[in-house]
Structure 1
Amino acid sequence: MKDLRLTVAAEMERARARTALLTDAVDETDLVRQHSTIMSPLVWDLAHVGNQEELWLVRDVGGREPVRRDIDELYDAFKHPRRDRPALPLLGPEDARAYVGQVRDKALDVLDHVRLDDRPLLNGGFAFGMIVQHEQQHDETMLATHQLRTGAPVLDAPAPPPARVPVDGEVLVPGGPFTMGTDTEPWALDNERPAHTVDVPAFLIDAAPVTNARYAEFIAAGGYDDPQWWSERGWAHRQEAGLTAPMHWQRDGDGWAYTRFGRTERVHPDEPVVHVCWFEAEAYAAWAGKRLPTEAEWEKAARHDPATGRSRRYPWGDEAPEPRHANLGQRHLAPAAVGAYPDGASPLGVHQLIGDVWEWTSSGFHGYPGFAVFPYAEYSQVFFGGDYKVLRGGSFGTDAAACRGTFRNWDHPIRRQIFSGFRCARDAV
């Protein structure tokens, strides 16, 4: 139990250090500014992670008196759309930092005194793990906000590693049943549960995500100008939004450049394409004579071990991600070249399923058979059946605490401010 407490405390501190990095990197003007109407001001995210920690760890788990009950409604994500949040009487930078510090002190005191096997909410430290994941998810959202801000660069990180092995073509995933979801991952969220058997027919999946070079071929072939590759909804959105290339791309002579975190450079041809919406991914796949994988296909490619028949935690096995496995945790500020992580490949030879870019799937977001809300409906259930598509695998901005072979992300098919890419699949014939 002592080791679990130490692990939880370390994960909480790691998440908070990242939050501080992202919020301390800008001045107070940038912290309170709304850099896009589809994103919150960074100062809202800062206080929001503190408020969620207070609600769950201080008040619910710890049974302690509220720190700031008066601000609960301000930081309720369901009551105020992002576009409206700058007009709210939000805590200023100094007060927000003081608030999250107060909450953290109380939450750590709760961790020191509460039993971690007392009830389902605490088994395996789940409530604390839920809050760690929540903060890391908002850290990735804040990183996306940084990508949308204008001005001089304020974030820095080493370049991602180059390719170590050549990766191209497709991988055949044999047909048959596999175990999807989990009953054993201690911090898995309700939408990842329960484990259940899914029979997936044989299919072929790209050995790597679609690269910038491949996507540029689609553009050069007139892919954005030909409605035959687009669904009816996709073509309507392409026209309405004026899409002509991935977000942040601009023409640079006979090629392309992109601006990332305040720095403009030529597009790297061997990196996975990023900042494309679901409709763009769908159109590219049709142009390539393929399709997007279903969520079950993606998870089988990522987790199924044909030698043993079991589902792994990660493509490479059950051990937690290390830097040699995947590009995660804001260690770099870009996707790595295809072939950069051979140690992270699946048993069948599918590469970079974890990290680099979130991968769009063809599936809508819904609960698994036997789904049960835990611990609250607003985490997953309220989004089931809406206009959402599932993304898998995490990105370079996703922390390992919020990424595993069963983890599910979801967003509207028009969204591309997220670190989203894709790979293609097709039926085995």
Structure 2
Amino acid sequence: MLEAIEAEREIGSQELAVEELAEVEEQTVEASSSSHPSHPSLLPPPSSLILLDEVGAGTDPSEGSALAISLLNYLAEHATLTIATTHFGELKALKYQDERFENASVEFDDVTLSPTYRLLWGIPGRSNALTIAKRLGLKASIIESAQKQVGASASAEVNEMIAGLEAQRKQQEEKAAAAADLVKQAERLHQEVARKADLLKERERDLKQQQEQAIQQAITEAKAEIAQVIRRLQQGTPTAQAAQQSTDAINQIAEQRLPSRKQPQKPKPGFRPQVGDRVRIPRLGQTAEVLTQPDEDGELTVRFGLMKMTVSLADVESLQGEKADLPEKRPKSQGSNREREKEQGSEPTSSAPNVRTSRNTIDLRGSRVSDAEIVIEREIARAEPGPLWIIHGHGTGKLKRGVQEFLKRHPQIARYEAAEQADGGTGVTVAYVQ
């Protein structure tokens, strides 16, 4: 007997009609009836939710599964939603044949042999009759015989496939859980690092503030002590002894209040500049690029900015403070004796011609007048008495005029003139250092 119970519920502007079909069996031995004949009599009305428990059961499994497949296909076309439970492997495979079907199961704990009631979407359930029968104490011989019978059937392959899917699912869940733990650990580490960074910044601010306060306090105390010394000088009779005492007092204040000055470390020897190296020229306060290898006299050409000049190995060091290896000194020639005579005040003679070398040549092309004056001043300070070739080029003539005006005012320059045509002519000025 079928009873139809209709209920309507309004949700928003939509009406959901739910029709529940309940099957009430009246079967007797005299009528030779069973539960199966009532199953095919279910005819779903439109917009129905159909719930079938063990669809196709109660008759021959092969015929029951075939009938269940046909029924589910029919319901897929005519019912809104059908939910059916089954133990038939053929029904579990419908998902892979028709996209209208989907599998779901309740997780089963193989250890406790009980369901966890956790819904597993997309994975079909598998029968555990033999496992449960073995746990309940059924004879082992019966279980083994049954396992052999199952192993020869198609349902065994389905169960193996389901078991493999469950194993993969568990592995994925374990990996997902491990990944989630790693993410949590990374978040904790990130928070810890951020917290420590904030603490370090705060500590740095505190230290800086303390240093500034200490410096201000030291300055204030030093000013007060110096003011006392000045007052004592102003109040007393100025004498040499009082001035010396005041000087000593101020020096003592400076030693107490000012940071100590450490002696610079001596540069390490053993550096050999190569073309393309960056070197430091301490006397010029510049960092330059090496353009040529050092010659026999230990001189090399360098460039800083647009300026090129020739310097000695003794004037350069590496960026790490290493001093260059200097060549061995050679005996001075007769020309050097004549230069010593010039240093003593004798005039140059035509028998001792002036020789231009990299040591007494400056290349100022591309420099500004102010920069050129600095370089000329430094070269004059290190030059021996004699000619100094200054290359300034022609250009607009501004650099040439600036160089010659500077030479005209310099007390160590006896005279200057344009170079010989072979040495550059009017693009080079020869200055005679005295």
Rg larger for = 2
Greater percentage in helix = 2
TM-score (norm 2): 0.17
Greater percentage in strand = 2
| Larger RCO (CA within 8 A; separation ≥ 6) | 1
